[in-house]
Structure 1
């Protein structure tokens, strides 16, 4: 898999976006193991732009790790600064699951009742409202009624 090629301006934007990120993958003394590659792949899928910390003193080793990670995971190497490596890969689109059995759940609604004189604090009442209910203007719970359609429309159907 070839690595993603970015223009210098795109790389500059990604470096700026990665500035505040914390490293999510750490590469220890064992080097680049399959477990590290798998975790880096999972982090790229979840975040898109990640930092990797390498606990190695050899700069050439870190360079080869950055190049091999970018090659194996089809990612773009953004930056190598000190012991930090920055990688980017576009995030895959998430599949949205449609559920037909889902109904609106109960909500807790606060109802305020003000005093008639205005000198006292308003009373706060917490009411649980189900999916087919609504709060009326007076603070009463009412069932939501079906919408009334016109007589002409029902005659046509």
Structure 2
């Protein structure tokens, strides 16, 4: 499901006050991290992830890889932080416009 511009704006405003709960560093993205991000998305639906200075990969590539591997929507990439959204099956709290 691709998000519309309106839905992305809505999610960006919701994500504004969130703090990043994961960090991608030198090791890049591994299975364990993907599992944890999936669990966090199921619980929260909307999360921020920061990319550390020592990460060797391009930040957009990292954001797209995490988004693909978790089947989540990439809402935005700002600087070294990106926002992911994935509708929760059990804990749905966000109603998209």
TM-score (norm 1): 0.54
1:55 deviates by: 0.5
Equivalent residue for 1:18, pick from 15, 19, 22: 15
Indicate the residue corresponding to 1:104 in structure 2: none
1:87 lines up with 2:84 in the alignment: yes
Is the 8 Å Cα contact of residues 28 and 56 (structure 1) preserved in structure 2? yes
Indicate the residue corresponding to 2:35 in structure 1: 38
Is the 8 Å Cα contact of residues 48 and 90 (structure 1) preserved in structure 2? yes
Q: Is the radius of gyration larger for structure 1 or structure 2?
A: 1
Following superposition of structure 1 onto structure 2, how do residues 56-95 of structure 1 map, counting pairs within 5 Å? 56=53, 61-93=58-90
- After TM superposition, which residue ranges in structure 1, 4 or more long, deviate above 6 angstroms? none
Is the 8 Å Cα contact of residues 56 and 62 (structure 1) preserved in structure 2? no
Q: Hey, what's the Cα distance between the residues in 1 that align with 2:68 and 2:27?
A: 20
Structure with bigger helix share is: 2
Structure with bigger strand share is: 1
**CA RMSD, aligned part only?**
1.8
Gaps (5+ residues) in structure 2?
Answer: 92-97
Gaps (5+ residues) in structure 1?
Answer: 95-157
The one of the two structures with greater contact order (alpha-carbon pairs below 8 A, sep at least 6) is 2
Q: Deviations over 1:48-88 (max 9, x none)?
A: 00000110377x61111111111111110001001101000
SS in 2 for 1:31: coil
1:42 deviates by: 1.1
Following superposition of structure 1 onto structure 2, how do residues 133-148 of structure 1 map, counting pairs within 5 Å? none
Indicate the residue corresponding to 1:6 in structure 2: 3
TM-score (norm 2): 0.85
